[in-house]
């Protein structure tokens, strides 16, 4: 199982062996470029994994393991934060979400008509439910420009 998010194409592709499913998406209100800090309304770019599943404000939601070690290094995070993120990556769990880099990035429902999120990836309600049902925690996620 693998999730590929192509920001420019506004597409999410779920690959499971030889099976591929493609879903239209919406992004953060400022979709261009990498996420740089909390509140910038950008969708991150990089290599992540599904770090949690929950029924949230926008229905079925998959947590994205942002920030990664690469994000933290680019941001200049301190040694303690880097250690916590490294541990989360090794254990395929949720990294710290309270830093100035931001966090709490989800793949969730809510619609795809325009880029409206605070940095999350939004799908139709039906597609979000499908993805939620198919993807276990630990599923790799690649987000590309």
Task: For 71-100, write each residue's pLDDT tens digit.
Answer: 998 888 888 999 999 999 999 999 999 888
For range 138-144, the mean pLDDT: 98
What's the pLDDT band for 18 if we cut at 50, 70, 90?
very high
Sign of CA dihedral 88, 8, 99, 116: negative
The domains of the chain, with CATH numbers, are 2-144 (2.40.440.10)
Give the pTM. 0.94
Is residue 66 within 8 A of residue 103, CB to CB? The reply is yes
Closest CA to 19 of 37, 1, 6: 1
Task: For 98-110, write each residue's pLDDT tens digit.
Answer: 888 899 999 999 9
For position 79, what pLDDT does the model report? 86
Task: For 51-75, write each residue's pLDDT tens digit.
Answer: 999 999 999 999 999 999 999 988 8
Q: How far apart are CA 31 and CA 42, in angstroms?
A: 5
For position 133, what pLDDT does the model report? 98
């Amino acid at each position: 199982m693998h999730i590929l998010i192509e920001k420019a194409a506004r597409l999410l592709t779920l690959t499971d062996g030889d099976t591929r499913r493609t879903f239209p998406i919406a992004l953060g209100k400022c979709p261009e470029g990498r996420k740089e800090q909390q509140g910038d309304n950008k969708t991150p770019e990089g290599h992540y994994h599904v770090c949690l599943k929950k029924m949230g404000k926008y229905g079925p939601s998959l947590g994205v393991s942002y920030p990664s070690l690469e994000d933290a290094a680019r941001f200049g995070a301190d040694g303690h934060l880097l250690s916590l993120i490294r541990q989360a990556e090794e254990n395929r769990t949720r990294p710290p979400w309270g830093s100035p880099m931001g966090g709490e990035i989800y793949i969730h429902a809510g619609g795809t008509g325009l880029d409206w999120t605070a940095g999350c990836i939004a799908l139709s309600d039906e597609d979000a439910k499908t993805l939620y049902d198919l993807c276990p925690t630990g599923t790799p996620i690649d987000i590309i420009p």
